[in-house]
Chain A
């Protein structure tokens, strides 16, 4: 193998598993260290710069960082990254951050941007562009900002105050919000001489089972999940029947069933086509639903709504089992048993969402594909009409908040480049910093000691209270002491093991001390066979090998990044400082420095 080029910022970036997995590449270990130090304001601001909604995401994020967390490969469970983020938001002081949030730009730059939708993507674009002096109009059909964060995430998971606070920080920066305003025509919007338009209108249409028998007749008793959640959020709906069936296996289904329990549903069931393990809902959301006495019945395909005397009395389902072909593709095969009947008064359908752009004319230069999706550049988020940019669920279909934020950052850069007449394809390089952590003998400026603690559980409010009050938050968050213990579980993957081959005397001290046998001095070879020849074969090919240049004996140093604990013992035991622990900071460049 060729020597690893550590000058390439992506190499060390990938070693920071959590940050690499995060769509917005939030510097996770950096803020976790700050939380451990009690510097909540600083931790909050790092988050705010990167993901815009720390308090919201600390409660609702899909947490792609956690399955990626190295800790999960070393012991059983990853660091509770998401809940630590919430601690930063909960424990920060309002005065502490007030002076650090940018206010209105002192000078307008003379450019006008329209943003359709006031969800996470549009708000991110607005935040990133506001300091540059852009004049922005945000249009949203809802009565307040936040998009699906407001309409679809129930208040017992995301209190309104938290949402209002973080949406408010952005609106305070100057963009003008036009709520209760549904944009009916993009053409008209474009005619108002905006320099650019950003479409962040989400994926607003819930899927239906139009062809199921009795669908029309049962309509008064059937609700589309996301619409129903919105109507609960905006207090148009306050109760539901005693017996409720929720169709679907995603997070919306989990939100629907738990909301139904709070609105009078006593016998609430989730019934899903797929096997339990294949459900799209996050594992913790399934756990939370089950904890509220909601059974999840899997492998049942809806077949029929059953009506009696003009009222819905239940549904029939076909029992199936999942079979997987050699490509791992799933087939749901009927078991041949009789249809199963489940009684119910009402049905909530949470079986997926679609994009819908009835308000975008097809003759204004925006090309749509055969599925009705606009053609969007995956890097610049520009549509085929160069003045129109997309982001969030509106761009490539339903994803999640943190993805929408990541889109927003990139779209903001594109819009700024476009408005300045520059090439939108020329993306700014990430900001990086690599600095030694050595303070002296046996002394590092990071806490290199590895904690044995297992993941701490977040306490929940008592079920007897939360089921009575739809707005009472279930998760209570870590207290500061538990947050410290949990933060100590972080392995500091951003503190990199940097090897300089010219200093190495091949004494093997690092090989002997490494607790996880990552380091090898070995004859070079092709990656595939080299991986097998290591002290412990490096079979996790998602993780890179760090390969040095040739050493005096003709061998090379090969480090398997997979389960390195970043404990620093290699550097500690290196007599020549050929190993050094250096903190790597990777920051996605935004449209404007904040």
Chain B
């Protein structure tokens, strides 16, 4: 019997500027099916958090229900976590974020958790521009209940059971765009070169960052008739362009390829380099983004990469003019400013 991860790591494992190796960002060993795309997404989150050197205790992982929502156990084992109610991850994330705005919020959801039971919550968390990373691990099926087609399964796509799906699919990126999300991207669990920089940029974005990650279900939906299998996605992927993420603390050095077409500076000072691929895709035009997704879909392609970004948006806290520090840091004087403050308020109302 095996299935215990050894404690030894590569002796040359590098450490980030906090002095942590990637091991400090690992979680428990996955119990998902061998080959599940979700494990690669977990690995990409680990890699991204390690690279941008976020202190693990400054991260909260929040999820709903489903195979995808189990995964926060498998990464960032030293971070905070809340495995919530089906489709209700956005509510819990909103509450947590309002209480402590200094944390990094990573919401992990699936196509069932987001596009079916949680569709309502998803729309609202997007339009409120809550400062969080919202990842959907999208495999087009309900893996935890034996592979029924989900709301993101494409028309005509068939899972292992072999019956083509008759319904129109919900495109989560398009939905997010229409709901007002300020960072929208799509990626593939099998392409970490694309996914890791996207996660880093999404975490650095101050506002609602949505990444739809196509993450094949090896057990129920990785057959040739499926449009969400490894082979199909690889063959039909089109990218908006390559992207590099340059964290704010790092000097821009020769490590990054020259020749990028655009440079976008995020709220926190970090920079995204966008490289041209075919025609120069404008990531700051919401209408073009929606059209591009649709155009590629008509061509039978899946558009991946950074699709839309509004670097100058105001997040939920700014829109609400909330207090600037976490609630736990408010002391009695802040919460109960006394009679003089009350008089001043009353005077204002006269």
Interface of A with B (CB < 8 Å)? 73-75, 442-444, 448-450, 452, 505-509, 511-513, 515-518, 536-537, 539, 552-553, 563, 565, 567-569, 572-576
Contact = CB atoms under 8 A, between A and B. Distances in A.
Given A450-B8, A517-B9, 16 more contacts: A74-B11, A443-B2, A449-B2, A450-B4, A452-B7, A507-B40, A507-B216, A508-B40, A508-B190, A512-B40, A517-B13, A518-B10, A567-B5, A572-B2, A575-B33, A575-B218
B341 interface: no
Most B CB contacts (10 A, CB to CB) among A539, A569, A576 go to A569
A59 to B, nearest CB: 30
9 tightest Cβ-Cβ pairs between the two chains A and B = A575-B35, A450-B6, A512-B43, A448-B2, A516-B10, A507-B35, A508-B40, A575-B218, A573-B34
A568 B12 CA distance: 21
Interface string B19-56: 00000000001100111110110110000000000000
With most chain A CB atoms within 10 A of its CB, the pick from B2, B4, B14 is: B2
Interface in B171-229: 189-190, 192, 216, 218, 222
A567 B6 contact: yes
A569 B2 contact: yes
A515 B46 CA distance: 13
A537 B13 CA distance: 10
Contacts, number: 104
A509 B231 contact: no
Given A505-B231, A569-B2, A573-B34, A563 B43 contact: no
B1 interface: yes
A17 B180 CA distance: 59
Nearest to B8: A74
Nearest to A568: B2
B230 interface: yes
B195 to A, nearest CB: 10
Given A506-B230, A573-B34, A573-B35, A442 B3 contact: yes
A536 B40 contact: no
A574 B34 contact: yes
B291 interface: no
A553 B234 contact: yes
A4 to B, nearest CB: 21
10 contacts: A443-B2, A505-B218, A513-B39, A516-B8, A517-B10, A536-B10, A536-B12, A569-B6, A572-B34, A573-B35
A487 to B, nearest CB: 17
Given A443-B1, A569-B2, A572-B34, A505 B9 contact: no
A572 B3 contact: yes
B17 to A, nearest CB: 18
B34 A506 contact: no
A74 B9 CA distance: 8
Contacts of B40: 507-509, 511-512
B187 to A, nearest CB: 13
Contact of B34 (A74, A536, A575): A575
A506 B37 CA distance: 10
B7 A509 contact: no
Contacts of A448: 2
B39 A565 contact: no
Residue of B5, B33, B40 contacting most chain A CB atoms (<10 Å):
B5
Nearest to A535: B10
Contacts of B13: 517, 536
Contacts of B189: 507-508
Given A509-B40, A512-B40, A512-B43, A576 B35 contact: yes
A536 B14 CA distance: 8
A505 B234 CA distance: 11
B13 to A, nearest CB: 7
A442 B29 CA distance: 14
B189 to A, nearest CB: 7
Which of B4, B34, B234 has the most C-beta atoms of chain A within 10 angstroms of its own C-beta? B34
A74 B8 CA distance: 7
A316 B5 CA distance: 59
A505 B33 CA distance: 15
B281 to A, nearest CB: 23
B177 to A, nearest CB: 28
A361 B286 CA distance: 97
A567 B29 CA distance: 14
A375 B8 CA distance: 48
Contact of B234 (A444, A539, A552, A573): A552
Interface string B220-248: 00100000001100100000000000000
Most A CB atoms within 10 A — which of B6, B12, B42?
B6
A224 to B, nearest CB: 45
Contact of B5 (A513, A517, A552): A513
Contact of A506 (B3, B43, B190): B190
A5 B7 CA distance: 31
Contacts of B230: 505-507
Contacts of B231: 505, 552
A515 B11 contact: no
A394 to B, nearest CB: 42
Contacts of A567: 2, 5-6
A563 B11 contact: yes
Contacts of B1: 442-443
Contacts of B190: 506-508
A566 to B, nearest CB: 10
B7 A450 contact: yes
A534 to B, nearest CB: 10
B218 A515 contact: no
A512 B33 CA distance: 13
A575 B29 CA distance: 16
Contacts of A537: 12
A518 B6 CA distance: 14
B42 A515 contact: no
A75 B8 contact: yes
Given A73-B11, A576-B35, A508 B3 contact: no
B183 to A, nearest CB: 24
Contacts of B9: 515-517
B37 to A, nearest CB: 7
Contacts of A443: 1-2
Nearest to B234: A553
A532 to B, nearest CB: 12
Contacts of A507: 35-37, 40, 189-190, 216, 218, 230
A515 B29 CA distance: 11
Nearest to B6: A450
Contact of A512 (B7, B42, B218): B42
A502 B35 CA distance: 16
Nearest to B4: A449
Given A515-B6, A568-B2, A509 B39 contact: yes
Nearest to B2: A448
A569 B30 CA distance: 11
A574 to B, nearest CB: 6
Nearest to B216: A507
Most buried by A among B10, B14, B37: B10
Contacts of A444: 2
A450 B8 CA distance: 8
A511 B43 contact: yes
A539 B14 CA distance: 14
A187 B48 CA distance: 77
